[in-house]
Structures are given as structure tokens and as C-alpha cells.
């Protein structure tokens, strides 16, 4: 049986009148149409229009351009009053996004309806922007939250048939964004038709929200905005959407059965009809519906999911899946240069495959490796990361690029961790200390050098010698003694004297309060008591400010903070109920004491206290510290997130109080492997997410460089990716990943021509962009250079302990 596939629009039609859905499908099948027939359902009185296609094109254009438009940024810099904002935003839309010639050709009534609808839509947008501005949100954050999320296509398969049969649904959202008024992700669907059957329209947008959550874990609320002939907003929370999912499952299962109904034999599930739509239904002319399918009330629906929800029959949640792009892999050489270029490697070039742990890389056999070597690299401070198809080690970027942050994206087995380790090796080679978070055991292999390959060029041998002569690897193991045991202070605050370097008193106070706010937010994330996190943060901010006030003698730690939460009077905090309820204060206190005395307590005792200054200092003069924080010995993900949150918070405190940036030179490089677990997209908020995002948004002005790698460009919060000026793209597998990367790289709405070749790209093949990229490398694929340290499967804690015991100081040979 062929996979049943529907668009969201088809599902909306079926929710309105199952017989219309059936007749559309039967007409498509009988006439062998390449494009499905989908009836637009209207009721009497709904014939008036507001130039729907013109409106949608104008809004789509505005949403696409607003993120980078100077005029829109200037609009946000003016008066935040919503109606003033609306006028400025509409001026930009009218000038750049509306097809005025096409609008002028429409009847006056349609023109007026169009103008009124645009005004209502932009008024809604201005209310959101104005609210964000009043909350003190910067323009960059507002624009990214409103227009930076390009995850609009949804493609999900639900296994919801009576026997688990799969049903695929596809669609494109009107708009997805973050709404500060509710502190939630929000999906907005706008309509230029009367709100005659709002329940069916809500059904459609609820399906969008459910699919978007499956693909991106967003838990989005939904809004249905009717713009014509009058404004009407209908809303559903995510909890309401999720609570009605069984109705969606039953409808999808019923649709598949209705479309298989056999009129002649009368076998299968007959679709019922909805008489209110009959007067304008093309399928009901001359009583065809009645003649073919009988009276409208006849027909049935499947209800096995609704019955399961009521407990009338056992049923697990259905399996779901996201559609992946399929296709054969192509040789890396063909990606490196367009086929029309004389220097391109032909598709038929002999290639063979070698396995190195989990990394698969293609190499040219020895008889085809002849190449002309460039001269040795000058000492320019360039990171040498890869080779083009011609074989020269000519893919490089300056050291000054690192503080603008680097993101490396590629599917499993694409070589993304290999490339990230290349960047780390180059940073160390050039004297930049590294602090690498290793959640799985892939990075501790920096302990051992890889053997020099027989095909190494003189340049590669020189770079290898420089790296091994410079690197000083150290493995830190929080909570255990498998390596250098590391303990932390989860609430280390800076003293006021530590930010004395900020000469302006107002700025100094802002920095001080920013550190307190960051510490309060971290504690709330670690406590995880639920409820209103803003009020909890405000309360703890007041506690911290009181405890750290001048003249206070109490030590600021988990014990004193928990005690103050239990009894705010001990820190002279008047009227704490204005911030938080007593029951929530007591929950906070219990959780903070649990962190101090429970399983996580091992993170606070034994070994060396976390000291970023010490981590950046070499033990041997002339070396560069390569610190690997190995998390694989911790008991669970909560402890990992807890430790990374404290680590990122300490890096932030350190950089604000200690770092004097050197122009063009990072210190240190902070690397998080498999970042999706620590900085996930959507509303998920593990403890490490907030502190890490703060490093990405604030680190560059202090010269602290961040490096992340992850499998999917959709899996990591946009605040991290949005602050990465350097992006290296390996193999991509899903349509949604291709779409996200297209948004990153396209210019003037043009999708980069190299993007389709990322599907099925060979392991180790990348295309990138970074500040100052040479024109000859723009859009060109390249291979990562060889690694100079070991790269194999992840090391267990026991394996790490054995390797450390056997480790000897590296004695690199001269090139």
C-alpha cells in the first residue's frame, strides 16, 4: 500500500467536509493529475476578497527582508509607541514589498480591503515590537526573534492508522516567532476570509503547531488572525493543542481510509458530508454527491485515538518521523569545483574509502596524488584548516576571526568533530589557550598524537611539528579522579573591586548588576522548581544583591542563599512576597540544599577548584594549555548540564572582571562539542543554555571565542548560531537543514548554487563563510586538513584512566 501523503491544506478541507476531500482525491486519481486537486471552501457571503495573493506576497517579502533591512532597524530605534512604529514599518513595506502596479489594477473595493488588511497585520506586529522595546530588548534580539526563525516547512509522518499505518503530512507555516508578551514561541496563521468556521481553521494551525513541535521541539502557542472583512484573533495554548492531538490522529487515519473508499463496490470507509457547504460546492452540482455517496449524514469516521484518550482501549502514543532527503552520495571532487571548471576533478576520478573510527573520508590513490606544493606558510597568524581540489593547503582564516565565533554543522559521520578538532589544533598552534567541553569522550584523544601520514606535504609536516611542540593537553574530570579532579563553586560572585577597571560608575554598576542577574538566572535554572522563573530570578537577584552589599560579612554560597530563601528577614529583605510566594521560596531553598547535599555535591568537593586564569597558564613555558573537561564520568545529563552551566558562568565572570582584550587575538577558545544537548533550539531550557548563550552574545567584546559543532542547523538555539560569523557546513541530510542553511547564506533572496550538493556530500567536505574570506573560496567546497592528534571512538572513563597512566611527554620530530 502506497504511503498516504497529504498537505495541511488537504487536512483542513477534510476537517471541514470529508466528502469534498474524497472527491478531490478521486478526481486527481481518475484524471492522473500531477498536482493534486484541492478545493477552496467558501460559504455564501465570502466572495469578497482582499487581494489575497498580493497580500501574501507582500507579507512574505517583508518577513524575508526585515532581518537585514536598515530602514527596519531605524524604525525600531524611533518612538516605541505601537502606532508610531506601525507607520514606520508600513512605510518600508509599501516602498519595498508591495506590487503597486498589480494593486492599482484591482477594483477599488479590493484595494481598500487590501490596505485595511495590511494595516491590521502591521498593527499586530507593531504591538509585539513595541512591547519588546518597552521591556528593554535590543533591536538585534527583536529582529532575530521575529524574523530569524526560518523553520517554516513541516514534513512529518504519523503512524496513526488502525494498525499503525504511516500517514505523511507536509505544509508551510505563515509565521513562527517568539512573543515576549507570553514568553512563548508562537505560530501565527493569517486569513483573508471571514471567520465562518474558525474551529476548522484552528484545527489547521493546531496541526502546524504539533508538526513543528515534532521537528523542532518548540511547544508553540498558536494564533489565528482574521484580517478581512473584519479583524478577529483566535488563540490556543500549546497545552490545548497537545490535548487535542487525538482528534488530529483520528482525522488523518480517517482521511487515508476515506480516500480508499470504493464507490462501485461500496467497500471501505464512506466519508460523511457537511450540508452547510453544499450551496457553493462544485462537487454537489446536479446532486452528484447524493447520487454517488448517498445522503450527507451517511458515512463514518475512525475514532480509535479518541477512545484511547478516554481510556476505552489501550493505545500508546503514535510513532512519528521527520522526512529526510534521500539520494546517492557524490564524490567530493565534484563538489569542490563546478564541473565546467577545467581544474575540477571529474566524476569518474578513481576514489577509494578508508575508515578511521567513525569518520569516513575519501582519498585519491597514490598514483593520482601528484601536486605542486606552495611555499611554506608565512608567519601570518592564519588558521590553516583545509585544501581545495587542487591539493594546496590554502583554506585559511585569520586568528582575528575566532572571537566572532565559529559554528560547524554536519550530519553524523560528516567529519564535523574532525573539523572542529582541526580548528582547536590551529588555535593551540598559534598560542591560543583552549577550554573544550567533552560530553562523550571524543576530545580527550588530544592526549595522543596521530602518526604522520605518508602523504603529508612539507607544509602539513611543518604545521604538525608546530602543534605538537606547542600543545599542553590536560584532562579535567569533575566529580571523579579519572583525570585531574575539578570542583566548582556554583555561585562565585565577583567583588565590586574586581570590576574597578570599568571607569564609568554607571557602567560599573550595570556590569555588577548584570553579574548578579546572571547568577540568579543560573540558580533558578539549576533548581528547576517550575512556575514563574522571572519572579524567582527577581527574588534571588535581591537576595544576592543584599548578601554581596558593601559591609556584609556572610560568605555568599548555596548554604547562605538557601537560608535567605527560607528566612528573607535574615538578610533584611523586606516584603519578599512582592517578588515570590512563600511556597516557592521554600521550594527554592529545598532544591538549593539538595544541590549542596545531594548527588551533585561531589561536584563541589575534592580536587582543584575551577580557576580560568590557571587554565590559561601553561605549566611549561612556551606551551599552550589545551584543557579538556571530560564529562563522561558524571552520573547523568543533569549533572553534565549543571557543571557546564557553572563553567560557562565562571568564564563569564572571569572575562568581565579579568580580561583586557587584545585586538584581533582571542583568549581563550571555548569549545562545546555536540552543542544541541546544551543549547537546544526552541523552548527547552537545560541549565547550561542561558549561561552559554550569554557567552555567545557577550564574549566577542572581551575576546573570548566560542566554537560549537552539531549535526543539524535546526537543533541549536538561534542566539548561538546568530552570533557565529564563521559557519562551516558539511553534509546535510534533511530538507529542513538545507532550508536553514539557505537562509544563512543566500544573498538577495538567491539560494547559493552549492547548497544542493551538500546533500550526500562526502565526509570531510565543507563549504564555509567567514569574515575576510577570499573571493576564490566563496562557495567552494574544500577538504579538512589531516588531524595531528588521535581521532577514534569515544573513550570510556576506564580507557581514559589507562591512557593517562601510560601517557608520556610528547617528543615531536623536526619536519
CA distance 742 to 753: 10
The answer, yes or no, to whether residue 470 has pLDDT greater than 80, is: yes
For the chain, percent of residues with pLDDT exceeding 70: 83
pLDDT at 338: 29
186 with 224: CB under 8 angstroms?
no
Q: What is the mean pLDDT of residues 99-114?
A: 87
The pTM for the full model equals: 0.52
C-alpha triplet 193, 194, 196: angle, nearest 5°: 125
3-state secondary structure of 683: coil
CA distance 208 to 385: 41
Pick the CATH number of 379-487+610-802 from 2.40.30.20, 3.30.200.20, 3.40.50.300, 3.40.50.2000: 3.40.50.300
CB atoms within 10 A of CB 82: 19
- Give residue-wise pLDDT tens across range 162-207: 888 999 999 989 888 888 888 888 898 888 877 766 777 787 889 9
22 with 261: CB under 8 angstroms?
yes
CA distance 227 to 119: 9
pLDDT at 258: 95
Report H helices in 136-244. Answer: 139-147, 198-216, 238-243
Report H helices in 192-312. Answer: 198-216, 238-243, 245-259, 288-293, 304-309
368/159: higher pLDDT: 159
Residue 674 has phi, psi (to 5 degrees) of: 50, 60
DSSP state of 171: E
50 with 110: CB under 8 angstroms?
yes
CB atoms within 10 A of CB 61: 16
Residue ranges of the domains in the chain?
Answer: 52-147, 171-245, 379-487+610-802, 489-608
DSSP state of 770: -
CA distance 783 to 716: 24
- Give residue-wise pLDDT tens across range 491-542: 666 555 556 555 566 666 777 777 777 778 777 777 778 777 888 888 888 8
For the chain, percent of residues with pLDDT exceeding 90: 26
Look-up of cell digits 575551577: 610
The answer, yes or no, to whether residue 768 has pLDDT greater than 80, is: yes
pLDDT at 553: 55
Q: Which of 120-124, 141-145, 380-384 has the highest mean pLDDT?
A: 120-124
The answer, yes or no, to whether residue 344 has pLDDT greater than 50, is: no
CA distance 538 to 580: 8
317/698: higher pLDDT: 698
Provide CB contacts within 8 A for 74, sequence distance 6+: 88
Length of the chain: 815
3-state secondary structure of 755: helix
The answer, yes or no, to whether residue 361 has pLDDT greater than 70, is: no
Range of weakest confidence among 41-50, 341-350, 383-392, 591-600: 341-350
Q: What is the mean pLDDT of residues 676-692?
A: 86
The answer, yes or no, to whether residue 389 has pLDDT greater than 80, is: no
The answer, yes or no, to whether residue 635 has pLDDT greater than 80, is: no
CB atoms within 10 A of CB 255: 27
Look-up of cell digits 566560542: 706
729 pLDDT tier (thresholds 50, 70, 90): very high
Q: What is the mean pLDDT of residues 53-78?
A: 89
DSSP state of 627: E
Residue 177, strand partner residues? 186
CA distance 157 to 215: 11
Burial class, 69, CB count within 10 angstroms (exposed 0-12 / middle 13-18 / buried 19+): middle
pLDDT at 200: 73
16 with 46: CB under 8 angstroms?
no
Range of weakest confidence among 34-38, 304-308, 347-351: 347-351
C-alpha triplet 189, 192, 197: angle, nearest 5°: 75
Cα 474–chain centre separation: 31
447/658: higher pLDDT: 447
774/269: higher pLDDT: 269
The answer, yes or no, to whether residue 321 has pLDDT greater than 80, is: no
Q: What is the mean pLDDT of residues 229-250?
A: 88
The answer, yes or no, to whether residue 586 has pLDDT greater than 70, is: yes
Q: What is the mean pLDDT of residues 605-614?
A: 82
523/325: higher pLDDT: 523
pLDDT at 335: 28
815/101: higher pLDDT: 101
Summary mean pLDDT of the chain: 80
Per-residue CA distances from 461 to 286, 375, 417, 625, 626 (Å): 84, 13, 22, 22, 21
Residue 487, strand partner residues? 609
Q: What is the mean pLDDT of residues 657-678?
A: 77
The answer, yes or no, to whether residue 481 has pLDDT greater than 80, is: yes
Per-residue CA distances from 426 to 234, 381, 423, 653 (Å): 54, 10, 5, 27
Residue 247 has phi, psi (to 5 degrees) of: -65, -40
Question: What ranges make up the beta strands (E) of 611-668?
Answer: 624-630
CB atoms within 10 A of CB 748: 5
Residue 440, all three cell numbers = 562523550
76 with 142: CB under 8 angstroms?
yes
CB atoms within 10 A of CB 380: 9
Cα 363–chain centre separation: 33
Residue 390 has phi, psi (to 5 degrees) of: -75, -10
CA distance 566 to 590: 9
Amino acid at each position: 500500500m502506497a504511503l498516504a501523503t497529504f498537505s495541511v491544506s488537504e487536512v483542513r478541507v477534510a476537517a471541514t467536509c470529508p466528502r469534498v476531500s474524497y472527491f478531490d482525491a478521486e478526481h486527481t486519481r481518475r484524471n492522473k493529475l500531477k498536482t493534486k486537486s484541492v478545493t477552496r471552501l467558501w460559504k455564501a457571503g465570502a466572495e469578497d476578497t482582499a487581494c489575497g495573493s498580493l497580500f501574501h506576497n507582500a507579507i512574505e517579502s517583508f518577513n524575508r527582508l526585515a532581518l537585514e533591512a536598515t530602514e527596519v532597524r531605524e524604525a525600531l530605534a524611533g518612538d516605541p509607541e505601537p502606532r508610531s512604529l506601525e507607520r514606520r514599518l508600513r512605510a518600508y513595506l509599501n516602498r519595498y514589498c508591495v506590487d503597486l502596479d498589480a494593486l492599482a489594477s484591482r477594483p477599488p473595493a479590493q484595494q481598500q480591503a487590501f490596505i485595511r488588511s495590511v494595516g491590521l497585520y502591521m498593527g499586530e506586529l507593531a504591538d509585539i515590537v513595541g512591547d519588546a522595546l518597552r521591556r528593554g530588548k535590543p533591536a538585534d534580539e527583536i529582529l532575530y526573534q521575529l524574523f530569524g526563525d526560518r523553520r517554516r516547512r513541516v514534513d512529518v509522518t504519523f503512524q496513526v492508522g488502525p494498525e499503525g499505518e504511516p500517514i505523511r503530512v507536509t505544509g508551510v507555516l505563515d509565521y513562527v516567532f517568539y512573543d515576549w508578551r507570553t514568553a512563548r514561541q508562537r505560530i501565527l496563521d493569517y486569513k483573508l476570509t471571514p471567520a465562518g468556521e474558525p474551529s476548522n481553521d484552528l484545527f489547521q494551525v493546531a496541526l502546524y503547531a504539533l508538526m513543528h513541535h515534532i521537528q523542532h521541539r518548540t511547544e508553540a502557542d498558536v494564533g489565528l488572525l482574521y484580517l478581512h472583512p473584519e479583524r478577529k484573533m483566535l488563540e490556543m495554548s500549546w497545552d490545548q493543542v497537545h490535548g487535542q492531538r487525538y482528534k488530529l490522529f483520528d482525522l488523518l487515519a480517517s482521511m487515508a481510509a476515506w480516500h480508499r473508499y470504493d464507490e462501485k463496490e461500496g467497500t471501505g470507509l464512506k466519508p460523511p458530508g457537511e450540508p452547510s457547504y453544499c450551496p457553493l460546492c462544485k462537487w454537489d452540482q446536479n446532486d452528484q454527491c447524493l447520487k454517488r455517496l448517498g445522503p450527507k449524514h451517511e458515512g463514518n469516521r475512525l475514532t480509535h485515538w479518541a477512545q484511547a484518550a478516554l481510556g476505552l482501549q489501550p493505545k500508546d502514543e503514535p510513532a512519528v518521523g521527520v522526512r529526510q532527503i534521500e539520494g546517492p552520495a557524490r564524490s567530493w571532487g565534484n563538489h569542490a569545483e563546478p564541473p565546467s571548471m577545467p581544474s575540477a576533478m571529474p566524476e569518474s576520478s578513481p576514489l577509494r574509502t578508508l575508515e578511521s573510527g567513525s569518520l569516513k573520508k575519501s582519498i585519491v590513490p597514490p598514483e593520482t596524488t601528484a601536486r605542486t606544493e606552495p611555499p611554506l606558510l608565512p608567519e601570518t597568524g592564519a588558521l590553516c584548516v583545509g585544501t581545495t581540489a587542487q591539493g594546496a593547503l590554502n583554506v585559511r582564516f585569520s586568528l582575528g576571526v575566532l572571537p566572532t565565533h565559529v559554528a560547524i554543522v554536519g550530519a553524523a559521520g560528516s567529519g564535523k568533530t574532525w573539523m572542529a578538532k582541526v580548528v582547536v589544533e590551529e588555535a593551540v598552534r598559534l598560542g591560543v589557550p583552549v577550554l573544550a567541553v567533552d560530553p562523550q569522550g571524543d576530545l580527550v584523544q588530544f592526549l595522543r598524537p596521530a602518526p604522520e601520514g605518508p602523504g603529508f606535504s612539507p607544509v602539513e609536516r611543518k604545521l604538525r611539528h608546530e602543534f605538537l611542540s606547542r600543545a599542553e593537553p590536560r584532562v579535567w574530570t569533575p566529580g571523579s579522579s579519572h583525570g585531574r579532579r575539578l570542583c566548582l563553586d556554583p555561585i562565585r560572585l565577583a567583588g565590586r573591586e574586581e570590576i574597578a577597571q570599568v571607569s564609568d560608575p554607571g557602567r560599573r554598576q550595570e556590569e555588577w548588576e548584570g553579574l548578579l542577574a546572571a547568577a540568579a538566572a543560573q540558580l533558578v535554572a539549576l533548581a528547576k522548581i517550575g512556575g514563574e522563573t522571572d519572579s524567582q530570578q527577581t527574588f534571588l537577584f535581591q537576595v544576592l544583591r543584599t548578601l554581596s552589599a558593601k559591609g556584609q560579612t556572610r560568605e555568599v554560597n548555596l548554604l547562605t542563599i538557601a537560608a535567605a530563601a527560607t528566612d528573607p528577614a535574615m538578610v533584611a529583605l523586606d516584603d519578599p512576597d512582592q517578588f515570590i510566594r512563600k511556597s516557592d521560596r521554600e521550594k527554592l531553598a529545598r532544591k538549593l540544599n539538595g544541590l549542596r547535599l545531594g548527588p551533585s555535591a561531589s561536584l563541589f568537593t575534592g580536587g582543584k577548584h575551577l580557576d580560568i586564569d590557571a587554565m590559561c597558564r601553561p605549566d611549561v613555558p612556551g606551551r599552550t594549555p589545551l584543557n579538556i573537561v571530560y564529562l563522561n564520568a558524571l552520573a547523568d545529563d543533569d549533572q553534565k548540564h549543571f557543571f557546564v552551566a557553572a563553567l560557562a558562568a565562571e568564564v563569564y565572570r572571569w572575562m568581565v572582571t579579568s580580561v583586557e582584550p587584545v585586538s584581533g587575538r582571542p583568549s581563550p577558545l571555548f569549545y562545546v562539542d555536540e552543542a544541541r544537548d546544551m543549547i537546544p533550539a526552541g523552548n527547552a531550557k537545560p541549565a547550561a543554555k542561558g549561561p552559554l548563550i550569554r557567552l555567545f552574545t557577550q564574549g566577542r567584546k572581551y575576546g573570548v571565542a566560542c566554537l560549537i559543532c552539531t549535526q543539524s542547523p535546526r537543533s541549536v538555539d538561534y542566539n548561538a548560531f546568530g552570533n557565529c560569523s564563521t559557519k562551516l557546513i558539511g553534509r546535510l541530510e534533511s530538507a529542513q537543514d538545507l532550508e536553514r542553511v539557505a537562509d544563512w547564506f543566500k544573498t538577495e533572496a538567491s539560494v547559493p548554487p552549492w547548497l544542493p550538493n551538500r546533500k550526500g556530500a562526502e565526509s570531510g567536505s565543507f563549504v564555509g563563510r567567514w569574515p575576510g574570506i577570499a573571493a576564490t573560496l566563496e562557495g567552494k567546497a574544500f577538504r579538512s586538513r589531516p588531524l595531528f592528534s588521535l581521532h577514534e571512538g569515544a573513550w570510556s572513563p576506564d580507557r581514559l584512566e589507562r591512557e593517562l597512566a601510560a601517557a608520556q611527554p610528547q617528543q615531536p620530530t623536526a619536519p
